[in-house]
Amino acid sequence: MRRWIIHSRTTFSARHALTSYRGSPEESHRHLWEVAIRVGSESLNAEGFALDFHDVRRVLNEVTKPLRGSDLNLHPEIGRPTPSAERVAEVLAEVLAPRLAALGGELLMVSVWEGPENRVDLSLAP
């Protein structure tokens, strides 16, 4: 089976504090977060491309816009049980998947960087 993989990413600044880190709550601190997605398509359209890069990036930016400059602890889904990079990836995947499906793509992976060197990947495809 052939599958085209479309990549897109964006960055935003936001605060968070893990509610329990090694047994104690963290102090609130800011990170530059980066979110990268991989979207699959098994075919090309009549114009010869799988998905429009601009459409994929627009969806990613729309979904992450409410997080920009925010305190992730106050986000109704991300903030509970704790606003970890894993939780950011999980919540974003839930919102992104149906919107990308409407474009004809399948969300395969969401990667979230908490700062420049720490990343978590959430794989959604078998």
pTM: 0.95
Considering the chain, what percentage of its residues have pLDDT values greater than 90? 97
Contact 85, 119 (CB under 8 A): yes
pLDDT in tens, 17-40: 999 999 999 999 999 999 999 999
Q: What's the confidence (pLDDT) of residue 87?
A: 98
Q: What's the confidence (pLDDT) of residue 89?
A: 98
- Phi first, then psi, for residue 41 (nearest 5°) are -145, 135
What domains, with CATH codes, occur in the chain? Answer: 4-123 (3.30.479.10)
Q: What's the confidence (pLDDT) of residue 2?
A: 85
pLDDT in tens, 55-113: 999 999 999 999 999 999 999 999 999 999 999 999 999 999 999 999 999 999 999 99
Distance (Å, rounded) from C-alpha 22 to C-alpha 26? 9
What residues pair up with 40 in beta bridges, in sequence order?
Answer: 5, 106
